[in-house]
Chains A and B, each alone.
Chain A
Amino acid sequence: MLSIRHVSKVFDTKDREVLALHDVNLDIEEGEFISFVGPSGCGKTTLLRIIDGLTEPSEGEVIFNGQVLSGVSREMGFVFQDINLLPWRSVVENVEIGLEARGVEKSERRRQALEALRMVGLEQVADVPPYTLSGGMQQRVGVARALAIRPKVLLMDEPFGHLDNFTRETLQIEVAKLWQQLKTTIIFVTHDVDEAIFLSTRIALFHSNPGRLAKVLEVDLPHPRWEFNVRADERAIAMREYILDYLGVRKDVMV
Chain B
Amino acid sequence: MSQAELEGQTLPRPRRRKDQEGWWQKHGISLVAVLVFLGLWQLSGLFLNPILLSTPVAVIRDWFQIALNGYLFIGLLEGFREMLIGLFFGVVVGITVGILMGRYQALDRILSPYVNFFNATPLIVIIPLVIIWIGITVNARIFLVFMITLWPMLLNTVSGIKNVPKGYMEVGQAFGFSERELIRKVAIPAAVPYILAGARVAAGLSIIGMIVGEMEISFFGLGMMLSTYGASFQTGHFFAVVLTSSIFGIVNVSILKWIQRRWFPWIAGTAGQNT
Which residues in A have some Cβ–Cβ distance to B below 8 Å?
52, 54, 72, 74, 78, 80, 82, 84-88, 97-98, 100-102, 124-125, 128-129, 131-134, 136-137, 145, 149
Contact = CB atoms under 8 A, between A and B. Distances in A.
A86 B262 CA distance: 18
Nearest to B8: A134
Given A87-B275, A101-B177, A149-B175, A134 B7 contact: yes
A26 B60 CA distance: 83
A124 B6 contact: yes
Nearest to B186: A86
A108 B9 CA distance: 30
Contact of B3 (A72, A100, A128, A145): A128
Contacts of B176: 72, 74, 98, 101-102
Contacts of A84: 165, 167-168, 170-171, 275
A129 B6 contact: no
B150 to A, nearest CB: 26
Contact of B167 (A52, A82, A101): A82
Interface in B138-177: 165, 167-168, 170-177
Contacts of B9: 132-134, 137
B168 A88 contact: no
Given A72-B173, A72-B176, A87-B269, 16 more contacts: A85-B275, A88-B189, A124-B6, A129-B265, A129-B266, A129-B269, A131-B270, A131-B275, A132-B3, A132-B12, A132-B269, A136-B7, A137-B6, A137-B7, A145-B175, A149-B175
Nearest to A53: B174
B224 to A, nearest CB: 44
B160 to A, nearest CB: 13
B270 to A, nearest CB: 5
Contacts of A131: 12, 266, 269-270, 273, 275
B267 to A, nearest CB: 8
Residue of B12, B171, B186 ringed by the most chain A CB atoms within 10 A: B171
13 contacts: A52-B174, A78-B175, A80-B174, A84-B165, A85-B275, A86-B190, A87-B270, A87-B275, A98-B175, A101-B176, A101-B181, A131-B12, A145-B175
B173 A54 contact: yes
A72 B174 contact: yes
Interface string B236-275: 0000000000000000000000000000111001100101
Nearest to B178: A101
Given A102-B176, A131-B266, A149-B175, A125 B6 contact: yes
A129 B258 CA distance: 19
A100 B10 CA distance: 30
Nearest to B1: A124
Contacts of B46: none
Contacts of A74: 176
Contacts of B175: 78, 97-98, 101, 145, 149
